[in-house]
């Protein structure tokens, strides 16, 4: 058995006391980063679903004549409904702060260099562009405040050649 040197009694306890808050802060930061990434992934999935739901609202009379046109009011309504339904019960997302901006771009009678105002992607077919913004609350570090996250998606209708 080894003897302790004088003045070293309790040195391990002192190190634990000094480094334990740093360790706990690091764990809290990792958990909050995971919560933020999870919420962003949920929002991206909801934006994708909203865009895909909206792009299916076609004017079938014009489609029968060979023209692809998205019905704007129905598309906006469907996209918003899908987004809100998918984000209303998600952890970390404040449901009352969810905002969906939906833009429908029908390419008939539009300039050739049309781009989606949300994603910036060039558009050559009828397209629905979606922007979703929400406030995320962090579970362990509320002192960082509420974090606003934005995601975007778009979907296009492509006719058969």
| pLDDT over 90 (residue 48) | yes
Task: Look at residue 5 and tell me if it is in a domain.
Answer: no
Residue 7's alpha-carbon distances to 12, 14, 75, 80, 126, in angstroms, are 12, 13, 75, 68, 78
Task: Look at residue 36 and tell me if it is in a domain.
Answer: yes
Task: Look at residue 91 and tell me if it is in a domain.
Answer: yes
Task: Look at residue 6 and tell me if it is in a domain.
Answer: no
State the total domains in the chain. 1
Residue 141 CB neighbour total at 10 angstroms: 15
Task: Look at residue 4 and tell me if it is in a domain.
Answer: no
DSSP three-state, residue 8: coil
| pLDDT over 90 (residue 140) | no
| Domain range enclosing 118 | 12-156
Please tell me the pTM assigned to this model. 0.84
Task: Look at residue 58 and tell me if it is in a domain.
Answer: yes
More confident residue, 110 or 20: 20
Task: Look at residue 2 and tell me if it is in a domain.
Answer: no
| pLDDT over 80 (residue 20) | yes
Average pLDDT on 67-84 reads: 95
């Amino acid at each position: 058995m080894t003897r302790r040197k004088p003045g070293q009694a309790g040195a391990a306890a002192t190190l634990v006391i000094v480094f334990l808050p740093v360790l706990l802060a690091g764990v809290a930061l990792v958990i909050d980063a995971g919560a933020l990434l999870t919420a962003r992934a949920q929002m991206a999935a909801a934006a994708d679903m909203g865009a895909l739901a909206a792009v299916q609202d076609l004017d079938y009379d014009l489609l029968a004549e060979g023209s692809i046109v998205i019905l704007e009011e129905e598309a906006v309504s469907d996209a918003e409904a899908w987004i809100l339904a998918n984000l209303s019960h998600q952890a970390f997302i404040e449901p009352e702060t969810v905002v969906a901006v939906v833009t429908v771009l029908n390419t008939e009678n539009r300039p050739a260099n049309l781009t989606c105002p949300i994603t910036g992607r060039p558009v050559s077919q009828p397209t629905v562009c979606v922007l979703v913004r929400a406030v995320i609350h962090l579970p362990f570090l509320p002192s960082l405040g509420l974090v606003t996250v934005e995601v975007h998606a778009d979907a296009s209708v492509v006719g058969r050649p």
